[in-house]
């Protein structure tokens, strides 16, 4: 075998050279090296210093983390049976290793010894915060457990790593297993031409050029349930999505129960009332009760408007179909809501597609961040990638290279669903007041190009690009000297602020004029269409709010209090909770939690933390008011946000960072005002 490409941190990652057979030997060697580095910290001679204790701990696992990030990433975007097997084989040893770090008596003693030194007492700023957080994390992760407790905690961590990976694989495989084939053109009635063309291209790729293929991938599924006139076919694909991974070879029901049980045992072993309290202690919410109170307050403020929207939608259907028409079923909601939106605002989201060719959207996005943050984004073509569709870009500030990122925007069967950002390399201070470049990536599953026609996006997909790019900026613009505090390594109820605030510009006419240009003529979006879009912005805002709150509530309910004994009872409990937030009854086999990757696709993920999206929305809605007040493209405000938020990572308390930008604490009403629900 040639030199293993996973053995060292490389800014120019040789993605074209990494093979499944590299994974296990590389991880075995890197585990051995990391263990030796940790042992060296515990055995360091002489007095304890920041460099030989906390500083050394910062770097001890860097190569191992880098390799695992690459392997996990490739398994997410270019999986094969061989890569999956190799990835699964190392999950247990990796989880056990990281679980053992805070349980190492020698490391814990070294940290305590350093904390009692004059140097530790004199620490300020980020270094002081690192010491405090590290001591607290070690305690929270079991440093003071007895030997039996430590052994059990390590077992729990290893099993959680294995079964959450298996859960994620089942979701991917279950999603790919479903296909809705249409051969009668009459069954395409109501669908926009973009969805029909994409379905024909999907069928042609499968060797059936005279049919149309629809899948559970979002660019295919969402248009179908929104526009297809056939209630029978809408129901079929909706049910398929919401029972995905709940039976057959991809059944996640028992895995779901086991994950919840292990997390409860983990929390109890560490002295916490429940898993939510364990997870949230270092976050802004601090505990599960506070997170639940936040969610309940938003729900209470939204309920009246939500009930009114449900009544209005039923009445609208009766106007269309007669007074005997029933209330829409769950698979009818998107369909009738879209018709109602058209009737009220004469607005069809599909009318915007021609104005959002992906190249124009990216160009406008890059110009926007250039104006705000003083950076320049430009393509580079000398970085190896994992697929021909992947693009690479450099981000510069004057002559300084801040970083490089990959953009993988379109769906493939070998790629998991959703959209996300990953950090790959965090640059270090260069000794001259600057930093080495950072490396990151963004991935999505947006509407792909068809034939020679460029990818034409929905407005929602444009928001997705802006959102993930906000996460990316948080990483690429970081100026924190300590890797564990840099970029997106912040409290999870704060991490969505840099991403969600970017979505606001997608609703501003002045910003739209930068990137919304007709694919054929280059013309901007007509004033009338923009006006209708803005008028419809808060259409069914209460329903959208309650949908997110349903996810947050079921998350907190499953991770707090008593747990039903069987998988069937857990699904029934989740369905009962989510029914309270649905304007249509959910069917008895509804099993959305079996594919809820945010909560169950990794040992922690967004578990007990899904509320973070709404928590951070309060922050972003409030913070954006400063841009609205001083100028949407104002460099002074942009640089203030860059200095106070994007560059600072976790070097200070997130509440202090927010105050540094806004000059005050967050206004809890900001989100409700933006959604038009402040009076509800």
User: Which are the catalytic amino acids?
Assistant: 468
Nearest residue to 266 (alpha-carbon basis) of 275, 253, 255: 275
Measured CA to CA, the distance from residue 643 to residue 466 in angstroms comes to 20
Tokens matching residue 450: 């068809």
The answer to whether 563 and 261 are in contact (CB under 8 A) is: yes
Measured CA to CA, the distance from residue 68 to residue 337 in angstroms comes to 43
Measured CA to CA, the distance from residue 424 to residue 434 in angstroms comes to 19
User: Is the sign of the CA dihedral 364, 366, 372, 375 positive or negative?
Assistant: negative
Query: How many other CB atoms are there within 10 angstroms of residue 458's CB atom?
Result: 19
Tokens matching residue 74: 């490739």
The answer to whether 63 and 7 are in contact (CB under 8 A) is: yes
For β-strands 438-443 and 420-425, DSSP reports them as antiparallel
Alpha-carbon distance values, 280 to 122, 501, 562 (Å): 29, 23, 19
DSSP 484-512: GGSTT-S-TTTTTHHHHHHHGGGG-HHHH
The answer to whether 583 and 640 are in contact (CB under 8 A) is: no
Q: Three-state DSSP class for 405? A: strand
% helix / strand / coil in the chain, to the nearest 5?
60, 5, 35
Q: Which residue has the tokens 């300020």?
A: 124
Angle at 680 between CA 327 and CA 534, to 5 degrees: 80
Q: How many residues does the chain have?
A: 680
Tokens matching residue 139: 């305690």
Measured CA to CA, the distance from residue 172 to residue 168 in angstroms comes to 6
Looking at residue 54, the DSSP 8-state letter turns out to be: I
CA atoms within 13 A on the CB side of 588: 0
CA atoms within 13 A on the CB side of 292: 15
Q: What is the Cα 235 distance to its own chain's centre? A: 28
The answer to whether 123 and 50 are in contact (CB under 8 A) is: yes
CA-based radius of gyration for the chain = 25
Tokens matching residue 278: 């364990």
Looking at residue 594, the DSSP 8-state letter turns out to be: G
Query: How many other CB atoms are there within 10 angstroms of residue 375's CB atom?
Result: 21
Measured CA to CA, the distance from residue 77 to residue 420 in angstroms comes to 11
Q: Write the burial class of residue 372 (CB in 10 Å: 0-12 exposed, 13-18 middle, 19+ buried).
A: buried
Per residue, the 3-state secondary structure of 407-446, as one string, reads EECCCCCCCCCCCEEEEEECCCECCCCCECCEEEEEECCC
Q: Three-state DSSP class for 523? A: coil
């Amino acid at each position: 075998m040639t030199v293993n490409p996973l053995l060292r941190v490389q800014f120019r990652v040789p993605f074209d050279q990494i093979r499944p057979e590299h994974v296990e030997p590389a991880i075995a060697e890197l585990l051995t090296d990391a263990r030796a580095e940790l042992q060296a910290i515990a055995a360091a001679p002489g007095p304890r210093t920041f460099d030989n204790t906390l500083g050394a701990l910062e770097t001890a696992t860097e190569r191992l983390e880098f390799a695992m990030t690459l392997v996990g990433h490739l398994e997410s975007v270019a999986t094969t049976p061989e890569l999956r097997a190799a990835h699964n084989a190392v999950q247990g040893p990796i989880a056990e290793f990281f679980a053992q770090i805070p349980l190492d008596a020698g490391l814990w003693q070294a940290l305590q010894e350093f904390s009692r030194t004059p140097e530790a007492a004199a620490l300020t700023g980020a270094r002081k915060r690192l010491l405090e957080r590290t001591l607290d994390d070690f305690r929270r992760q079991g440093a003071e457990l007895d030997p039996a407790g430590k052994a059990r905690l390590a077992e729990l961590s290893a099993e959680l790593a294995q079964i959450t990976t298996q859960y994620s694989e089942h979701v991917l495989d279950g999603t790919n297993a479903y296909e809705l084939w249409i051969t009668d053109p009459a069954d395409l009635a109501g669908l926009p031409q973009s969805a029909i063309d994409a379905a024909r291209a999907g069928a042609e790729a499968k060797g059936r050029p005279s049919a149309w293929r629809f899948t559970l991938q979002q660019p295919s599924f969402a248009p179908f349930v929104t526009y297809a006139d056939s209630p029978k076919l809408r129901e079929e694909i909706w049910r398929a999505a919401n029972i995905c991974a709940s039976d057959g070879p991809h059944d996640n029901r028992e895995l779901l129960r086991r994950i919840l049980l292990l997390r409860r045992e983990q929390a109890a072993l560490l002295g916490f009332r429940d898993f939510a309290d364990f997870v949230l202690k270092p976050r802004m919410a601090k505990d599960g009760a506070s997170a639940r109170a936040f969610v309940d307050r938003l729900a209470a403020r939204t309920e009246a408007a939500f009930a009114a929207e449900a009544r209005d939608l039923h009445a609208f259907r009766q106007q269309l179909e007669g007074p005997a028409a029933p209330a829409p079923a769950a698979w009818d909601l998107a369909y009738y809501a879209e018709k109602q939106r058209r009737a009220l605002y004469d607005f069809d989201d599909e009318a915007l597609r021609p104005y959002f060719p992906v190249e124009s959207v990216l160009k406008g996005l890059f110009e926007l961040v250039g104006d705000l943050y003083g950076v320049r984004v430009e393509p580079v073509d000398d970085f190896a990638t994992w697929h021909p569709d992947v693009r690479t870009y450099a981000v510069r500030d004057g002559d300084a290279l801040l970083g490089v990122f990959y953009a993988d925007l379109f769906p493939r069967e070998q790629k998991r669903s959703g959209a996300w950002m990953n950090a790959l390399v965090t640059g270090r201070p260069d000794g001259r007041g600057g930093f080495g470049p950072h490396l990151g990536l963004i991935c999505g599953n947006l509407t792909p190009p068809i034939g020679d026609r460029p990818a034409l996006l929905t407005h929602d997909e444009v928001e997705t690009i802006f959102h993930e790019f906000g996460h990316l900026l948080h990483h690429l613009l970081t100026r924190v000297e300590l890797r564990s505090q840099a970029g997106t390594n912040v409290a999870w109820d704060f991490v969505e602020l840099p991403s969600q605030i970017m979505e606001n510009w997608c609703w501003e006419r002045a910003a739209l004029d930068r990137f919304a240009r007709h694919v054929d003529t280059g013309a901007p979006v007509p004033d009338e269409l923009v006006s209708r879009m803005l008028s419809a912005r808060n259409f069914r805002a209460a329903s959208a709010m309650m949908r997110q709150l349903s996810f947050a509530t079921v998350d907190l309910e499953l991770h707090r209090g008593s747990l039903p004994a069987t998988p069937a009872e857990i699904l029934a409990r989740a369905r009962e909770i989510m029914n309270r937030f649905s304007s249509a009854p959910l069917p008895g086999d509804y099993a959305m939690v079996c594919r809820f990757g945010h909560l169950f696709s990794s040992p922690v993920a967004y578990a007990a933390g899904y509320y973070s999206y709404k928590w951070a929305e309060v922050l972003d809605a409030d913070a954006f008011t400063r841009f609205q007040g001083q100028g949407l493209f104002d460099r002074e405000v942009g640089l203030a946000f860059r200095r106070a938020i994007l560059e600072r990572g976790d070097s200070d308390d997130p509440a202090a960072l927010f105050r540094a930008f806004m000059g005050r604490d967050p206004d809890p009403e900001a989100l409700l005002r933006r959604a038009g629900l402040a009076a509800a």
